[in-house]
Amino acid sequence: MKIVVIGGTGLIGSKLVTKLGEHGHEAVAAAPDTGVNTLTGEGVADALAGASVVVDVSNSPSWEDAAVLEFFQTSTRNLLAAETVAGVGHHVALSVVGTERLPDSGYLRAKVAQEKLIEGSAIPYSLVHATQFFEFVAGIADGATEDGKVRMAPVLFQPIAGDDVAQALGRIAVGSPLNGRVELAGPERYRMDEFFRKVLSESNDPREVVTDEHARYFGTELTEGSLVPAGEAILGETRYADWHGQARDYPVSQATG
């Protein structure tokens, strides 16, 4: 099966391309570096020719409110139009648990816009909502740092390893379209402030973690359950304590709310 992975050179995309290839699929990594730009449309039609499935794990290079909205809206529109022409039978997109519960975050508003375009198109789809990646934990701490202190709300937090996200996405991509959503999360649930206090202290990070129920997460206040699955979810196997991956650099300072 030919499966095009938009954002196939990124954190999740590169893992997914490898896993699909190991299972005998023709997995194509599509990204600006491989000549495919969903924002301008360059190379998209050629990449999609003969594809059965498209998995969109791309991300905006800028997290500034207007730029990220423009990225997810324009690239999703371009992609869905090209998929219609190519006869693609399944569009899979990776989004974030709680998008619709956190409208004060510009990044998450952009993800909601992306989801609405997918749900409103005629192409069969699967929307996969994941919790925060282990690789994003350092970025979350940086995004929450003010005057050298990390401000965290005492809410539920259930991060997942990027490898586990890629594994679940691969299974969903080769299955029948859900025409709905599924949630993915890590195997353990924490209090966000306690999790960061422990993780920073274990990595000898000198920043103090301050518990603040009004602390903002990329521009939005959180409630007890806003970052964790609301119901049944697919759980990754990797525990944070057993994870040996590396942090990914994200443009967190641009996310304004």
Torsional sign, CA 122, 129, 61, 167: negative
Sign of the CA dihedral running 118, 73, 11, 143: negative
Tell which positions 66-105 bind ligand NAP, by CB under 6 A.
75, 94-96
Residue 7 contacts ligand NAP per CB under 6 A = yes
Residues sharing a CB contact under 8 Å with residue 3, sequence separation 6 or more, in sequence order:
20, 25, 26, 27, 28, 51, 52, 53, 54, 55, 173, 174
131 closest CA partner among 188, 180, 176 = 188
Q: How far is the CB of 99 from ligand NAP (least distance, A)?
A: 9
Closest distance between ligand NAP and the C-beta of residue 57, in Å? 4
Task: Give least dist CB 7 to ligand NAP, A.
Answer: 3
Match 């699955």 to its residue by tokens.
229
Mask for 209-248, x = binds ligand NAP (CB under 6 A): ---------------------------------------x
Nearest residue to ligand NAP, scored by beta-carbon proximity:
10
- What is the rounded CA–CA span in Å between residue 94 and residue 86? 21
User: Out of 76, 99, 126, 132, which residue is the one contacting ligand NAP (CB under 6 A)?
Assistant: 132
Q: Is residue 57 near ligand NAP by the rule CB under 6 A?
A: yes
Could you give the CA distance from residue 220 to residue 226 in angstroms, rounded to a whole number?
A: 10
Name the E strands within 59-142.
90-96, 125-130
Residue number with CB closer to ligand NAP (159 or 215)? 159
Residue 51 as a binder of ligand NAP (CB under 6 A): the answer is: no
Q: And the tokens for 162?
A: 């990027």
CA pair distance 73, 68, nearest whole angstrom? 9
Q: Which of 1, 2, 18, 39 touches ligand NAP by CB under 6 A?
A: 39
Q: Does residue 185 belong to the site contacting ligand NAP (CB under 6 A)? A: no
Structure tokens at 1: 């099966």
CB of 219 to ligand NAP, least distance (A): 15
From 53, 189, 219, 193, select the one nearest 123 (Cα to Cα): 53
- Least separation in angstroms between residue 32's CB and ligand NAP is 4
Q: Contact positions toward ligand NAP, by CB under 6 A? A: 6-7, 9-13, 31-33, 36-39, 57-59, 61, 75, 94-96, 111, 130, 132-133, 136, 248
